[in-house]
Structure 1
């Protein structure tokens, strides 16, 4: 009897141990199934490893009805579809991200870029420039922005608006640099064309003003009249001379009437311009008739000692026209 009781006790203990082992195996099997059901984290950790702490606010960042893996897929699609150069580097300058636009621009595959620095990919001068701006972002933690020109692999010049900013971890520490470069070549071309159009408008306006300020009127065969009104400086005097000489040739003029009735004052520069005009017109075989000389202007011309011997002078425009038509 004692032996039977001892045997039953041994069997009971063995059964309890087997039940405990079965329970432990069930728990391990359930955990394995849950791990296999979770998606690959894609961060280098083995499948089934506990996901990293998403940090505060992660719940709010997850769209309603969407799983975190859906967010990752959407983000990846956005990066690939964005019509701009997107890239990220760690603190050592090694690439950890480059979108399709970046790789297409550089004519590289991801395998040519992943884990490499700019000095392993680009010429030294360009790589030095890239690294300098990266280090400024890393050391200051500030965002940098500027415009720059870059030549594509096919030799075409493009303009980019560049933005570089720090990548931070959940604690706020700078862990890398992210860059976004937007091609603004078409905008720059349109801007240049607009500036050229504005410059041409200004030039046309200046030509119109010169024509208005130095009108040349043919009043009879071989006779031209140029009435001058307002102050005359060297620039306007030179413009008047150019218009006058061109008109003499175009109209075959022999007599030119310069009317200065509307000129309030004459200084040495204007007097010299008149003498120069008479000499230039004479070289073309024509004569200058100067009209509208006011007493004060006549006095000034005498005081300046201006040599007006090459000009015919008349007091009024009417008398000057009469003289021109007689000759």
Structure 2
């Protein structure tokens, strides 16, 4: 019986050994699956396995590749959708990229533009301008900006803001130039309208100031009053004369009261202006009554030797009005 038990015992021991090995293999397989799930392959712990370098992260590379393609597609979509002319030329001046906006404004197709130079596409004078800016960009390696106007194929005058800059590869080697041209016609029109409006406002303000500085008031039939306030220079004196003469004709006035109560200083220039005004009014058949002469001003007029004999004077505006209304 002992001899019969020996093979069975040996077989049992072999089975236990196999079970232990299988259990070990299961554990190692589970560890390997966990490592793969973490995308960190590592087989160096397997018995008898030689040391190997880690495998590339294939999924990560695919994601980066996909992201790069998406970025390129987005950039292409932005360039195509941008509301501005966008183009790229190589160092020989040949077009290697142009967006739809550029093609629409130039009235050309990409097949007509691709690989061509400006002299093959545009009138010589325009092409010379483009070539000069290209040369400056390539020579200096700097970005240049300027504005220009052009009549496009649709016959409209347009204004553009242009920008050109050099393009280099990863090693810094010059590959060509990129140009961006923005239509600023609407801005220019708005600026011109704004300028015209400002000029109109200035003219209106000047007219208001003139009216304020030389107010003319009819107070009775054939009688007008002009009160002056502030300094009177040569320019204002001329406005006073023009306003008075126009007012005399408009109101058929025979009496003009010129009140200088609010004039702080009367010098030779003002005195001469008053005399000139009186003479001009007299030529139209009207009479000037000068009111509001302060003592200091009266002294100045005497010192200046001003001849006011042809002008009726009164101390106050009220007395001047009473004078003309009593007659």
TM-score tier (shorter)? 0.7 to 0.9
**What is the correspondence of 1:67-82 to structure 2 with a 5 Å cutoff?**
68-82=68-82
C-alpha separation in 1, matches of 2:116 and 2:268: 74
CA displacement at 1:309 relative to structure 2 = 4.1
Deviations 1:95-136 (A, max 9, x none): 111112112111122232222221222222221211111111
C-alpha separation in 2, matches of 1:174 and 1:308: 86
C-alpha separation in 2, matches of 1:266 and 1:111: 81
**What is the correspondence of 1:284-295 to structure 2 with a 5 Å cutoff?**
284-295=284-295
2:313 partner SS: strand
Q: Does 1:264 align with 2:283?
A: no
TM-score by length of 1: 0.75
Per the alignment, residue 102 of structure 1 pairs with 102
Per the alignment, residue 248 of structure 1 pairs with 248
Aligned residues: 267
Per the alignment, residue 320 of structure 2 pairs with 320
1:66 partner SS: helix
C-alpha separation in 2, matches of 1:63 and 1:212: 77
C-alpha separation in 2, matches of 1:269 and 1:63: 89
**What is the correspondence of 1:1-327 to structure 2 with a 5 Å cutoff?**
66=66, 68-327=68-327
Q: What RMSD in Å do the two structures reach over aligned CA positions? A: 2.3
C-alpha separation in 2, matches of 1:63 and 1:258: 92
- Unpaired segments of 5 or more residues in structure 1? 1-59
Deviations 1:265-285 (A, max 9, x none): 122221222122122222332
C-alpha separation in 1, matches of 2:192 and 2:256: 44
C-alpha separation in 2, matches of 1:225 and 1:153: 63
C-alpha separation in 1, matches of 2:128 and 2:267: 62
Higher CA-based Rg: 2
TM-score by length of 2: 0.75
- Unpaired segments of 5 or more residues in structure 2? 1-59
Deviations 1:20-47 (A, max 9, x none): xxxxxxxxxxxxxxxxxxxxxxxxxxxx
CA gap 1:164/1:63 in 2 versus in 1, 3 angstroms: farther
CA gap 1:107/1:194 in 2 versus in 1, 3 angstroms: same
